[in-house]
C-alpha cells in the first residue's frame, strides 16, 4: 500500500498509508469524536473544504450503504483515520469506505496516531493541512500549504442552484439550503410536510411569494459572516412567517437580529454533546458539527438563550421574544447521533399552528 503524508500548518508531519482517491488536497483539518456514522459525516456538507479526522480507532467496518447519505456529492477534502477496515461486514453494505472515497475523488490516510493529531488540534486550534503522496518534496508542499488561502464561498459551493420540491400533503415549509443534510428532509417527510428547498441567496420577497407556513434555515459550512445577504432575507421574513434555524441557520438568525459570532478554537464535532434546556433543566445528548458559535455577550434584548452546552456554556439555542422564531446550534435531525432533540421539529409545527390561530383571531 502506497504511503501518504499529512502535513500540518505548524510543521508537524504524519506518515501513513494511502487509501481512497489518489489526489493531493489542502483544507482545514478538524476532528470528530463520533464512534460511528462516518458515512453521514463524510457526506455532511458542513464539512465542505475540511480534512476530517475520526478519533474512533476503527473506521469503515460496516461499509457504505444507500440509506445513510446526507448528500449525494460530498465535498469534504480528505479523511484521516487510525485504521481503515479492509473488509466491510453489514447486511446493508454496498461498498467499502475505500471504494466510496475513490468514487467521490476524496483521498484518505490511515495508520497514523489520531490521538496525537487530535491533541495538536485541541492545543493549537484548527489549522490548514495537506494530504499528499510521500514521494513529493516536503519543503515544496509546506511552502504551498503556507501560501494557500482557503476559500470563503463554502455555502455557495454546496447550496442548490435551483429550487426543488420534497412533496407532502401537510404544512408547506420553505427550506433555505445553506448546505442541508438530507436528514432534515427526512424529519419533515415523517411529519407529512410539503417542503420546497430553495437556494441560499433567495430573497424574502421570493420566499413570501411561495406562501409558506414556515421557514427552515438549514445547516451549512464556513463562516456565517460570509453570507450577509442571508441576514436581509431573515429580517424580511421574521414576524411574517415562523422560522426554525439549525446550526448555520442558528448563527445567521442570531446575526440577523444583532448578535455577533466567533470562531471556536476547535469547534464541536461529534454526537455526544450534552445540551441543557434552560427553562426546564432537560439535558439532551446532541449531534453537532460547527466551528463558529454565537457570542452570548452580544445577544440583543430581543433574543433569549434557550439552550447551552454543558461543558463550555456556549450558546446552543435562542428564541425571539417578539416573533415566532427560534434556532438551535445542534442537529435535532441527528443522523448520525442520538434522537433526543427530534421533538424540536414538532415544536416548530406547533409554533406554526399557534401563529395561524393568533393571526385568525386578530
Predicted pLDDT of residue 1:
76
Residue 216: predicted pLDDT: 98
Cα distances (angstroms) measured from residue 256 to each of 3, 229, 243, 249, 250: 47, 10, 12, 10, 10
Q: Is 251 annotated in some ligand binding site?
A: yes
Quote the pLDDT of residue 213: 98
Residues 6+ apart with CB under 8 A from 15: 3, 4, 5, 6, 112, 134
Torsion of CA 109, 112, 116, 120, to 10 degrees: -30
What is d(CA 130, CA 14) in angstroms, rounded to the nearest whole number?
10
Q: How far apart are CA 249 and CA 57, in angstroms?
A: 32
Residue ranges and CATH numbers for the domains of the chain are 3-150 (3.50.30.20), 155-360 (3.40.50.880)
Nearest to 78 by CA among 52, 117, 112, 56: 52
Q: For the chain, give the longest Cα–Cα distance.
A: 72
Please, is 172 exposed, middle or buried when counting C-beta atoms within 10 Å of its C-beta (0-12, 13-18, 19+)?
middle
Any idea what the Cα angle at residue 353 is, between residues 231 and 188, rounded to 5°?
Answer: 70
- Mutual angle of helices 229-237 and 248-256, in 10-degree steps: 70
User: What are the Cα distances from residue 342, in Å, to 20, 243, 319, 347, 348?
Assistant: 34, 16, 17, 9, 11
Predicted confidence at residue 335, as pLDDT, reads 86
Residue 302 is a catalytic residue: no
Query: Which of the following is catalytic: 44, 98, 177, 333?
Result: 333
250 a catalytic residue: no
* Cα dist from 261 to 147, 226, 254, 297, whole Å: 27, 12, 8, 10
Local structure of residue 337 (DSSP, 8 states): S
| 67 C-beta neighbours (distance < 10 Å), count | 9
Residue ranges of the chain with per-residue pLDDT less than 50: none
Does 178 count as an annotated binding residue? no
Ligand-binding site membership of 154 (annotated): no
Residue 289 in marked binding region: yes
Is residue 247 among the annotated active site residues? yes
What pLDDT is stored for residue 238 in this prediction? 97
* 3-state secondary structure at position 175: strand
Catalytic member of 200, 273, 307, 331: 331
- The SS3 assignment for 184 reads helix
Is 49 annotated as contributing to ligand binding?
A: no
Q: Per the residue annotation, which of 247, 250, 268, 307 is the catalytic one? A: 247
Amino acid at each position: 500500500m502506497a504511503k501518504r503524508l499529512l502535513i500540518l500548518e505548524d510543521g508537524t508531519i504524519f506518515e501513513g498509508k494511502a487509501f481512497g482517491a489518489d489526489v493531493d488536497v489542502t483544507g482545514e483539518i478538524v476532528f470528530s469524536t463520533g464512534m460511528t456514522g462516518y458515512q453521514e459525516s463524510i457526506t455532511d456538507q458542513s464539512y465542505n473544504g475540511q480534512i476530517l479526522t475520526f478519533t474512533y480507532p476503527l473506521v469503515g467496518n460496516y461499509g457504505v450503504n444507500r440509506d445513510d447519505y446526507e448528500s449525494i456529492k460530498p465535498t469534504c477534502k480528505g479523511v484521516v483515520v487510525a485504521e481503515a477496515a479492509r473488509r466491510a461486514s453489514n447486511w446493508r453494505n454496498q461498498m467499502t469506505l475505500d471504494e466510496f472515497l475513490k468514487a467521490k475523488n476524496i483521498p484518505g490516510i490511515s495508520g497514523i496516531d489520531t490521538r496525537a493529531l487530535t491533541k495538536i488540534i485541541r492545543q493549537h486550534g484548527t489549522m490548514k493541512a495537506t494530504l499528499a503522496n510521500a514521494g513529493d518534496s516536503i519543503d515544496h508542499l509546506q511552502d504551498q500549504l503556507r501560501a494557500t488561502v482557503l476559500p470563503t464561498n463554502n455555502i455557495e459551493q454546496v447550496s442548490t442552484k435551483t429550487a426543488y420540491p420534497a412533496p407532502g400533503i401537510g404544512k408547506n415549509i420553505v427550506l433555505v439550503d445553506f448546505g442541508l443534510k438530507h436528514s432534515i428532509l427526512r424529519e419533515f417527510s415523517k411529519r407529512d410536510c410539503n417542503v420546497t428547498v430553495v437556494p441560499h441567496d433567495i430573497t424574502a420577497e421570493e420566499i413570501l411569494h411561495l406562501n409558506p407556513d414556515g421557514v427552515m434555515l438549514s445547516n451549512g459550512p464556513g463562516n456565517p459572516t460570509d453570507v450577509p445577504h442571508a441576514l436581509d432575507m431573515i429580517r424580511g421574513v421574521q414576524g411574517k412567517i415562523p422560522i426554525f434555524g439549525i446550526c448555520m441557520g442558528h448563527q445567521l438568525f442570531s446575526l440577523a437580529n444583532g448578535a455577533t459570532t466567533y470562531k471556536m478554537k476547535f469547534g464541536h464535532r461529534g454526537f455526544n454533546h450534552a445540551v441543557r434546556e434552560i427553562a426546564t433543566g432537560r439535558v439532551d445528548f446532541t449531534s453537532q458539527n460547527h466551528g463558529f458559535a454565537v457570542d452570548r455577550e452580544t445577544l440583543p434584548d430581543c433574543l433569549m438563550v434557550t439552550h447551552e452546552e454543558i461543558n463550555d456554556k456556549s450558546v446552543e439555542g435562542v428564541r425571539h421574544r417578539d416573533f415566532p422564531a427560534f434556532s438551535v446550534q445542534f442537529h435535532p435531525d441527528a443522523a448520525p447521533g442520538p434522537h433526543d432533540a427530534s421533538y424540536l421539529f414538532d415544536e416548530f409545527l406547533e409554533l406554526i399552528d399557534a401563529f395561524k390561530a393568533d393571526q385568525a383571531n386578530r
